[in-house]
Structure 1
Amino acid sequence: MKNLMPSVDSLGEALHFLRMSGTFYCRSELTAPWGLALPVMKGSLMFHVVTSGQCWLEVDGVEDQLLQPGTFVLLPHGEGHRVSSDRGGPTRKLEELPEELVSERYSVLRHGGGGTPTTLICGVVRLDHPAARHLVTLLPSVIRVEPSGSPRMDWLQSTLRFIADEARELRPGGETVITRLADVLVVQALREWMAQGSGARTGWLGALQDPELGRALALIHREPTSPWTVASLASRVAMSRSAFSARFTRMVGEPPMHYLARWRMYVAHTALKEERPGLAELAERMGYQSEAAFSRAFKRFMGVSPGAVRRGDATSLPALGMSA
């Protein structure tokens, strides 16, 4: 039993890799009748917080939803959608409407016919870590978090009120506060969905919450360059090699060593963007005998060459291949 790890929050550790970067935030002051059509923003997560009034959210393939004060909705796939005062009413393209640019990443939009007012805080965030982009593929089209009387949700609603106050008053530093709190809200929304949604109990997300597999994944995530084998990982979580390999492959969708190799490429991708090490140095760090072998493995998993990432030529990555 001495090889067992203490209890770990492997799901929480995985969420740490979200590493969001704020792209743009907007406070919308709207008066009925009004309607906004938001464009597709691939590679981004979009969210809306209703701080006063109400509106309808329409997303193709999803039932229309009425959003009221305190409602937080997250659209993880950056899909085009519509928000309006009247269900099915006419909309204007967001890019056609004038905005007051408060800063490079924050604006105020005023639009509508002068009737009942509604205020929205809208945001677009990007995910920097390649593993986070895989997580997004496992999420539904819309994640909705409602106000409630539970202590957990009270904290969330207090954060929403804080954002609303900052957006209304626009005090010095307000953009920074809104950006940080919005990132926290996105993580909280994901945690809430994972706690309640059956989709979070299967595949990679389910494996993170499995007592043994979660520990094994945490070991890989914490120590990706260690010389792990199937046997050593199985030993650390007190399972037989065969049982561990079978359960890991069934739940994660790929064998343990394949997942380990893929995670090492995630780590290498981040290092290339942030540290810009030499390829030979990085190959050795990742446990490869040659730069050529490392480069081949990197391109196989990531779809681009390490040199292109290091130079900044690779602006986007293809969909990641881990199965759900």
Structure 2
Amino acid sequence: MDALSGLLDGPRARGAFLLRMAMEPPWSVRIEDRAPLCVMTVARGGAWVVPEDGDPVRLRPGDVAVARGPAPYAVADLPSTPPHAWILPGEVCRTADGHDLADVMALGVRTWGNRPDGRDVVLVGTYLLDGAVGRRLLDALPPLLVLPAREWESPLLPLLAEEIVRDEPGQEAVLDRLLDLLLISVLRTWFARRGEAAPAWYRAFADPVVGRAMRLLQNNPAHRWTVAGLAAEAGVSRAALARRFGELVGEPPMAYLTGWRLALAADLLLEPDTTLGAVARRVGYGSPFALSAAFKRVRGVSPQEHRVGAVRAE
């Protein structure tokens, strides 16, 4: 598993909210759902994404935008169009005076808007749950990134447009996987375009020594790793690995491993009926007490408090 895969591992990749939005101008939707991540692509016509802070961005057919929450933003036919609908947490859709619009604007299977044959069609996929494994990646993203169609082409977009309106057994799982693939493809392309501006931990994966060490840690977090053992696996000396890892990643190998273990633990704790002891074994801690102590020291809350807080947030 690498850092991009880590974003989509666990609860974030299950039960994502997908919608085909069909609109006839003028239209504007204010997004205040506090979701950690939303992917949008224009299937027909066009749209503007208006961030809370920053300049509006025009989306044309085939362009893909990724909005990082929880900051609100608007999607509209023009930046100047005032919102007529507000999307709130829990998939609630209302007017400014509180009238429910969920049923009023329902147009069929996963389709919503003010007109079935509207000029503008936007496909929306939203990750509703914020998971710890992807926090490193989420923190590396701007509030809004756009990948123009002229710089990126993928067969996933027409496939998503086709599948999003189907109502068949297992369709939710199909759409989750399509959204995952779309997001990974977009982010890989976007990071590659950024070059030296990409986060250090992402660039480090390309290094033959540090990249191998990072994959070893991520693929087997329960192993009793030492810097010496990791260096032997990577084929370099302990001092060489420690120096190069720190230079490229920005932290020592064991600190990176601790962060990865606790990120995995944070996600595993959200799985139903999972015990603290089972989580400790899976992420490389010798006892529930050891995991609890590390979790509280690094994350500021106990595993139980983390679990309760996540349930309340859903």
**TM-score normalised by L of structure 2:** 0.80
Report the CA distance between 1:13 and its aligned residue.
5.4
Q: Residues 11 and 131 from structure 1, CA distance in 2 versus in 1: closer, same or farther, beyond 3 angstroms? A: closer
Q: Do residues 109 (structure 1) and 112 (structure 2) align?
A: yes
Residue 94 of structure 2: aligned partner: 96
Cα distance in structure 1, aligned partners of 2:250 and 2:46: 42
Residue 206 of structure 1: aligned partner: 203
CA deviation digits over 1:249-269, x for unaligned, max 9?
233232211222222223333
Q: Do residues 304 (structure 1) and 293 (structure 2) align?
A: no
Residue 18 of structure 2: aligned partner: 25
Report the CA distance between 1:146 and its aligned residue.
2.5
Cα distance in structure 1, aligned partners of 2:212 and 2:220: 12
Cα distance in structure 1, aligned partners of 2:133 and 2:277: 24
Residue 80 of structure 1: aligned partner: 72
Cα distance in structure 1, aligned partners of 2:282 and 2:82: 56
Contact 1:58 1:83 in 2 (8 A): yes
- Percent identical pairs in the alignment equals 29
Find the residue that maps to 1:134 and give its secondary structure: helix
**Letter of the aligned partner of 1:108 in structure 2?**
T
Contact 2:47 2:75 in 1 (8 A): yes
Find the residue that maps to 2:310 and give its secondary structure: coil
**Letter of the aligned partner of 1:142 in structure 2?**
L
Aligned mate of 2:310, from 297, 300, 315? 315
Report the CA distance between 1:27 and its aligned residue.
1.8
Moved more, 131-140 or 72-81: 72-81
**Letter of the aligned partner of 2:232 in structure 1?**
S
Aligned mate of 2:121, from 119, 130, 143? 119
Stretches of structure 1 that go unaligned for 5 or more consecutive residues are 1-8, 318-324
**Letter of the aligned partner of 1:38 in structure 2?**
I
C-alpha RMSD of the superposition = 3.3
Report the CA distance between 1:217 and its aligned residue.
0.6
CA deviation digits over 1:188-237, x for unaligned, max 9?
11111122113664421122222211100101011112221112212222
Report the CA distance between 1:80 and its aligned residue.
1.2
Find the residue that maps to 1:232 and give its secondary structure: helix
Cα distance in structure 2, aligned partners of 1:199 and 1:21: 33
Aligned mate of 1:256, from 253, 256, 275? 253
Contact 2:13 2:176 in 1 (8 A): no
Aligned mate of 1:131, from 129, 133, 151? 133
Find the residue that maps to 1:211 and give its secondary structure: coil
Report the CA distance between 1:87 and its aligned residue.
3.0
Report the CA distance between 1:57 and its aligned residue.
1.6
Residue 38 of structure 1: aligned partner: 31
Contact 1:143 1:189 in 2 (8 A): no
Q: Residues 287 and 161 from structure 1, CA distance in 2 versus in 1: closer, same or farther, beyond 3 angstroms? A: closer
Contact 1:144 1:189 in 2 (8 A): no
Matches within 5 A, 1:1-324: 10=2, 14=6, 17=9, 20-42=13-35, 44-94=36-86, 95-97=93-95, 98-100=101-103, 107-111=110-114, 117-126=119-128, 129-148=131-150, 153-154=152-153, 156=154, 158-167=155-164, 169-173=165-169, 175-198=172-195, 201-274=198-271, 276=273, 278-280=275-277, 282-283=279-280, 288=285, 290-309=287-306, 312-315=307-310
Residue 89 of structure 2: aligned partner: none
Find the residue that maps to 1:124 and give its secondary structure: strand
**Letter of the aligned partner of 1:204 in structure 2?**
W
Number of aligned pairs? 297
CA deviation digits over 1:61-118, x for unaligned, max 9?
4332221111211113343111222232222232325234999xx7432237x99711
Stretches of structure 2 that go unaligned for 5 or more consecutive residues are 87-92, 96-100
Cα distance in structure 2, aligned partners of 1:206 and 1:80: 30
Find the residue that maps to 1:49 and give its secondary structure: strand
